[in-house]
């Protein structure tokens, strides 16, 4: 069976410090990977998605970046955190494009446990 | 860009009541998702719909593609159903991520 891991679970960082959040998926190959953020009092927002190693699409311009160094690893980073970066960060995966096409292009997304980031 | 609206934002009901949460979207989609978020923050996918109706236990989800509208129903509600229910849509049928509604905070009182 497939599992998705995120760490750390909680993080408190000072403004201006760097950030690295990691997400890994087990039990599947070539997944699509996603980073979402839920800011306090706001809805979920797509930040980045990736269909393969080194392939990153950004939805919202900001001081965050994402990388996919391995097939089942997705990393969210920042060089200098802002107060507005505080929030709940969720990683998710879905089956890859080849299988999506076989299924008619539809698949659910499976969410990780999330990282709660507080920037002070 | 798709605009996803949910109603109501907050709903408090008594145990056993029939619950309906509504979702509408502005642009044609390939799929609509209903998600459940518990107080700890974890999110579980309840349904993915592209047409018609799906049922899982006491939960029923329907979608009307022509009207760009979906509903999530909970029959015989129970306090353990208390959670935030989120409607989300995908557009292109490929790897695009989800566009979310703001969620409905449901509380079921014993």
Percent of chain A with pLDDT over 70: 92
Which tens digits make up the pLDDT trace of B30-75? 889 999 999 888 999 999 998 999 999 999 999 999 999 999 999 9
Question: Per the omega criterion (within 30 degrees of 0), is the bond before B38 cis?
Answer: no
Could B42 and A105 be called an inter-chain contact, meaning their C-beta atoms sit closer than 8 Å? no
Q: What is the pLDDT of residue A104?
A: 66
Q: What is the mean pLDDT of chain B?
A: 93
Which tens digits make up the pLDDT trace of A52-89? 999 998 887 688 999 999 999 999 999 999 999 999 99
Could B95 and A109 be called an inter-chain contact, meaning their C-beta atoms sit closer than 8 Å? no
Judge whether residue B93 has pLDDT over 60. no
Q: Which two tokens stand for residue B12?
A: 């408090």
Q: A105 or A39, which is more confident?
A: A39
Place of tokens 């996918």: B45
Q: Which residues contact B67 (CB under 8 A, 6 or more apart)?
A: B24
Q: What is the pLDDT of residue A108?
A: 85
Set of chain A residues whose Cβ sits within 8 Å of the Cβ of B95: 32, 49, 51, 94, 97, 100
């Amino acid at each position: 069976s497939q599992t998705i891991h995120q760490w750390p679970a909680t993080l408190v960082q000072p403004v201006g410090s760097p950030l690295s959040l990691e997400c890994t998926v087990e039990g599947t190959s070539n997944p699509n990977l996603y980073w979402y953020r839920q800011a306090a009092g706001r809805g979920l927002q797509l930040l980045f998605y990736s269909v393969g190693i080194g392939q990153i699409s950004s939805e919202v311009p900001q001081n965050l970046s994402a990388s996919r160094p391995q097939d089942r690893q997705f990393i969210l980073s920042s060089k200098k955190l802002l107060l507005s970066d505080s929030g709940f960060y969720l990683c998710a995966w879905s089956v890859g494009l080849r299988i999506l096409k076989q299924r008619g292009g539809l698949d659910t997304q499976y969410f990780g446990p999330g990282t709660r980031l507080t920037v002070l | 860009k798709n605009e996803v609206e949910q109603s109501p934002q907050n709903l408090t009901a008594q145990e056993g009541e029939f619950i309906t949460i509504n979702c509408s979207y502005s642009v044609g989609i390939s799929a609509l998702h209903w998600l459940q978020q518990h107080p700890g923050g974890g999110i579980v996918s309840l349904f993915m719909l592209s047409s018609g109706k799906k049922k899982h236990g006491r939960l029923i989800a329907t979608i009307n593609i022509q009207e760009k509208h979906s509903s999530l129903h909970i029959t015989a509600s129970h306090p353990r159903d208390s959670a935030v229910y989120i409607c989300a849509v995908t557009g292109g049928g490929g790897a695009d991520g989800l566009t979310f509604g703001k969620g409905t905070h449901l509380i079921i009182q014993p």
